[in-house]
């Protein structure tokens, strides 16, 4: 798999050598495609793969300010990163400005490049208590949070938002301006309301409005699943960067600007081998494989596999046997399924 490894490494070098696509405060970002923060998904092994393929910065999944301040053991693995991932963005969530400030100061000691505030999570346990997308209904509080954190921290503070709570309260322009006016250095916009969850289509017109309304960099997010989608979002919205979540789970090679169909089997195998090895190192042998199986299943979802083949893969408990099965499957040059409709 030497060839495939070479392709991976070359891509990382290219991304790092490119001129800055935009700056977060004074921090240059060398590329305009960015892996979205995804709780339980954008862990260190997956972020490493995405970053090596060309994702330009590394957002952690969100960390709960209360757990940070309690010293909860859950926080460590979420905020773990490797140097080559920089710029590293720690994403925090809470509904209380004072606690967010204390949590941000505490995690600052782990030396991230950026602190990001989650204003998009729609889960009941988060939004229901006024954190995540729950903050969108309190723009004044958003202003307090950004004023306090940007004053107290010596690194940029950024925000990731949705368009509003529901169709009747789409206050994204007010929220984006509030972030900018209170020292925020970038805003990432998922083009849906909290109420929409993941239904409907992301509203790229609204993302374009945000881009036109503020002078800090804007990252657009929502429903990017192909290279054509990347270009279409950039063209439509003029955003500085395009953030990719679910699309990257099926095709991390999007960060290399490749559609899934364009990725040769040996490259898929090399990525699986590499991320699995990282996952085993990071989580330990048993858990590492269990947590990795869902990624392999997504990477292989493009192929017309027998159900029995997929089941055998997803229940395999031995890493070498797992890789053997992946290798056998890919060697059969399985037929490609038609891509699913995006959205």
CA contacts within 13 A on the Cβ side of 287: 5
Given the complex with ligand FMN, which of 116 and 180 has the nearer CB atom?
A: 116
64 touches ligand FMN by CB under 6 A: no
- Please choose, out of 35-43, 136-144, 166-174, 297-305, the segment that lies near ligand FMN by the rule CB under 6 A: 35-43
Sequence-ordered list of residues with C-beta below 8 angstroms from that of 180, at least 6 positions apart, any chain = 187, 214, 215, 216
Q: Which of 120, 143, 184, 288 binds ligand FMN (CB under 6 A)?
A: 120
Q: Which H or E run contains 29? A: strand 27-29
Q: Which H or E run contains 51? A: helix 44-53
As a whole number of angstroms, the distance between CA 235 and CA 310 comes to 38
Q: Which residue is nearest to ligand FMN (CB)?
A: 245
Given the complex with ligand FMN, which of 108 and 298 has the nearer CB atom?
A: 298
Shortest Cβ distance from residue 300 to ligand FMN (Å)?
Answer: 19
Q: Which of 224, 233, 267, 300 binds ligand FMN (CB under 6 A)?
A: 224
The closest of 270, 262, 265 to 227, measured between CA atoms, is 262
Sequence-ordered list of residues with C-beta below 8 angstroms from that of 161, at least 6 positions apart, any chain = 119, 120, 136, 172, 175, 176, 179, 187, 188, 189, 190
In this structure, are strands 88-93 and 241-244 parallel, antiparallel, or unpaired? Answer: unpaired
As a whole number of angstroms, the distance between CA 133 and CA 139 comes to 11
Which residue among the candidates 7, 121, 248, 263 is catalytic per the annotation?
121
62 touches ligand FMN by CB under 6 A: yes
Whose structure tokens read 């909860």? Answer: 72
Given the complex with ligand FMN, which of 228 and 321 has the nearer CB atom?
A: 228
Shortest Cβ distance from residue 255 to ligand FMN (Å)?
Answer: 12
Q: Which of 37, 45, 97, 252 binds ligand FMN (CB under 6 A)?
A: 37
Beta bridge partners of 58: 35, 88
CA dihedral of residues 140, 102, 38, 43 (deg, nearest 10): 170
Given the complex with ligand FMN, which of 50 and 121 has the nearer CB atom?
A: 121
* Interface with ligand FMN in residues 234-293 (CB under 6 A): 244-247
* Interface with ligand FMN in residues 305-334 (CB under 6 A): none
| Length of the chain measured in residues | 343
81 touches ligand FMN by CB under 6 A: no
Omega prior to 197 cis, within 30 of 0:
no
- Please choose, out of 37-45, 170-178, 261-269, 290-298, the segment that lies near ligand FMN by the rule CB under 6 A: 37-45
Q: Is 121 a catalytic residue?
A: yes
25 touches ligand FMN by CB under 6 A: no
223 touches ligand FMN by CB under 6 A: yes
* Interface with ligand FMN in residues 182-211 (CB under 6 A): 190
Active site residue ranges = 121
Q: Given the rule CB under 6 A, which residues bind ligand FMN?
A: 36-39, 41, 61-62, 91, 118, 120-121, 160, 190, 221-224, 244-247
């Amino acid at each position: 798999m030497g060839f495939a490894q070479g392709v991976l490494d070359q891509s990382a070098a290219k991304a790092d050598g490119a001129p800055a696509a935009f700056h977060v405060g004074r921090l240059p970002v060398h590329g305009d495609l960015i892996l979205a923060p995804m709780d339980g998904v954008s862990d260190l092994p997956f972020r490493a793969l995405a970053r090596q393929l060309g994702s330009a910065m590394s957002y952690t999944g969100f960390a709960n300010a209360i757990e940070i301040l309690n010293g909860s053991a859950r926080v460590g693995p979420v905020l773990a990163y490797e140097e080559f991932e920089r710029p590293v963005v720690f994403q925090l969530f809470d509904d209380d400005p004072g606690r967010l400030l204390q949590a941000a100061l505490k995690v600052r000691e782990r030396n991230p490049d950026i602190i990001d505030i989650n204003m998009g999570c729609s889960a009941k346990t988060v939004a229901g208590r006024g954190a995540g997308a729950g903050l969108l209904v309190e723009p004044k509080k958003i202003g307090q949070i950004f004023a306090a954190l940007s004053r107290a921290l010596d690194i940029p503070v950024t925000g990731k938002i949705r368009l509003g709570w529901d169709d009747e309260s789409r206050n994204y322009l007010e929220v984006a301006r509030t972030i900018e006016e209170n020292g925020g250095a970038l805003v990432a916009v998922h083009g849906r309301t909290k109420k929409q969850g993941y239904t409907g289509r992301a509203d790229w017109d609204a993302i374009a409005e945000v881009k036109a309304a503020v002078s800090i960099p804007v990252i657009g997010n929502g429903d990017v699943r192909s290279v054509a989608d990347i270009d279409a979002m950039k063209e439509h919205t003029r955003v500085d960067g395009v953030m990719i979540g679910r699309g990257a789970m099926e095709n991390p090679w999007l960060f290399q600007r490749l559609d899934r169909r364009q990725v040769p089997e040996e490259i898929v195998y090399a990525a699986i081998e590499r991320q699995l090895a990282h996952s085993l190192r990071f989580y330990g042998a048993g858990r590492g494989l269990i947590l990795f199986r869902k990624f392999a299943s997504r990477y292989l979802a493009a192929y017309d596999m027998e159900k029995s083949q997929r089941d055998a893969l997803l229940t395999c408990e031995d890493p070498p046997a797992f890789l053997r099965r992946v290798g056998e499957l890919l060697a059969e040059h399985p037929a490609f399924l038609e891509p699913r409709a995006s959205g």
